[in-house]
Amino acid sequence: MPYHLFARLHATALDLGRDARGQGTVEYVALILLLALVFAAVVKFGAGKDFDIGKTIVDKLKDAIDGVGDAPKK
């Protein structure tokens, strides 16, 4: 009789480890943390040099917006 109980407990324990609900959220949070870490490293190693990450981002965005509808560059 106790073997049935142990078998059921074992099956339940194995099933709990296979639950994939919420996995997507964990992956998105990990991705955001990774991007934050990369961005922090860029800012850290670019500081002190003649490197302004904010100005670079704004300039690239302005170039991209101004380039909408233009003929492709050759």
State how far the Cα of 54 lies from the Cα of 61, in Å rounded to an integer.
11
Do the domain assignments include residue 50? yes
Is 6 part of any domain?
no
Domain range for residue 47?
Answer: 25-68
Domains in the chain, number: 1
Tell whether 18 is covered by a domain.
no
Helix boundaries (H) for the chain: 2-16, 23-46, 53-66
* 12 found inside a domain: no
User: What does the pLDDT read at residue 53?
Assistant: 73
Q: Residues 12-69: pLDDT tens digits?
A: 777 766 666 777 888 899 999 999 999 888 878 777 666 677 788 889 989 989 888 7
**53 and 42 Cβ atoms separated by less than 8 Å:** yes
53 close to 46: Cβ distance less than 8 angstroms: yes
